Structure 1
């Protein structure tokens, strides 16, 4: 995902622009917003935006002055200018400042999307060019095996959080084939996104540490192997080629599946049901599960409903509510129970609980 910073002195514009579109659908993620130029500069190094969407008229430091200051730190950042004014002077200054686009307020969703699609294409080209330049310094690690075959590989830029979710699903259900395919896909994407041995290894370790921690919490039989799992993850740093690193990860994750003792004669739906029982507190998504197992999500949803009588989301809600009833009976506070069973919004938990139980959580607890 390419990183976006929104800079505007009007709070309604800042927050409205953040929620105007599904940024992730176009390959972008809003990482921060800033109230003026000085605030943007203070956040810049940590936010590291690829694209800044900047109001041209702001107090103290206007958008063009902000761009000049940022260019002293990083010449590669891209800019879209926002303006409530269609006057020629500002438009001319923006053009001379080499911005990537000039959008008039009120912001038109279609126009913004068109600019983002153009920006995505440009940023993808720059990423490939940077990889080519940087390739020589990493040649010993990649050792030409990055090609993964004879034809050129097309890399799809995907959020690592989504990869983490998919790989967690595949491991929890015990599908070695899906794990192997995901490892190759993740490795390809990391190689294109991070472009250096150190960054690839660091991000891989963070991803795997998070996933294995989830597995350790949900799979008690793995806890005796916790030290071994931690040890082999740390050995990622010792790998001298990209290919050997990928092989290590694939082999070790398949060993984890063996250790969990899955019954592979179980149907896919049965394995998904077991996974829900172990991971109901997670943000489980049918669409991600369908992608992992190469199913159309509508078709997988139909299979699930035929087997259980409920849609995936209804079944998940029922599992969560049944667990919530147990926790309420133990005397936990309502907000604690909501969080423990996977609802981040207490009001939403109230609504769901009343829907399935017929009364509010507190009333149920006081019976």
Structure 2
């Protein structure tokens, strides 16, 4: 009497994409994925031959990757071929089937197992259960029995793969976010310490940041490829951590231990050459200098950003850029060109162009070739220039000053400062766009009227609307009277009374309730305004 037992845990692999139906089963398997691998182990050659021909392995989505005549050979083959499933006799010389499972369970690779066994008693069952056995089949086997056993273990493999791929995807996203936050200094001290410990970055670690301009490949697939690359010399001891760096850009943090290779240009060039074939479209790499220790992470990130400015002109734009110390000379260009064009983009209302220009400015800032105080002063000067233009075009100087100063962030945290400046200048550009070509007056008044219609039930003043629209209240009052033909207060009363007339006609609400509903806290004032505009009191109007 023989027994088949199923045991073990499948190794995690990539997620399922397109599916086919497993022969004789309701479970789905990936039609285009590499077939599952099965390994045979038995000390009788006739048994090995019988296994090969008992079922249609290809139809069951398996390919035979090896055969062993004893447990010792089987253990070696498991390490070299890494099968998804091992089918083994329990009685073999040197290492028997149960011992083979036990040793494999202690390794970093654990395939599923189907075991042929002559032990059908309770004691054997207990030993088998110790290793996670989940099924028993008696021998002599026929095609149906083996097929059913294979379907059971295959279903387990695919389910475990799918669950593992979800865990891997979540883990990869969490690690990418961790690396990004470390590089950009967007974490608390506790998060920082935890992240450094997780990534194994010590004060002796050598670091280099590489940014990639272009579409990012699938994260899990890229991780598998990068891991395989790390087995090659001289990249063997380098750890590579992917991270995201905004739209159309991602990157890698390269970490080398103290005794590992230097992250110099020669090694980085070799690494980029290995990486480039993994992309389906051309990409541009930009790399920082080598640094040491976690305190230099932000510097490495900023240098990689600055290295993008070295991108050559012409078709393809080059293939890689490396940060150079002499990039400091780029700071001299900033006041002369980018400052002028930056102000021009804001005052001409070119929001899209402005975003690109701000990116160029902060790339230069990120190269750490200017002090934080210089950067803060430069941006304050730009805002001062804009305030003069806003005032000249009727804007409320005090409102914009209150909005811009003091700055919420400083150059000590450039990523946050960049986002703040982009929000502020884009808002200003939109304001200037509304003021262009003489259209500001109509648009400002239209915006004021729209605000009244949405807030007439509240206690409303011209100053409230002017503050909302970032304009001077006196200027708004003048524009309103010119556009509408009457003062703001006259328009507000007329609008409220028209809304009150609707309520008088359509509801049974009392006069005081209607007065309150349309924004009057005093019913007598409401009645007086109503009679002044309509010639009758609200109560007479309601009865008419």
Aligning the two structures, in what range does the TM-score lie when normalised by the shorter sequence? 0.3 to 0.5
Which has the higher Rg, Structure 1 or Structure 2?
2
TM-score by length of 2: 0.27
Higher helix share: 1
TM-score by length of 1: 0.39
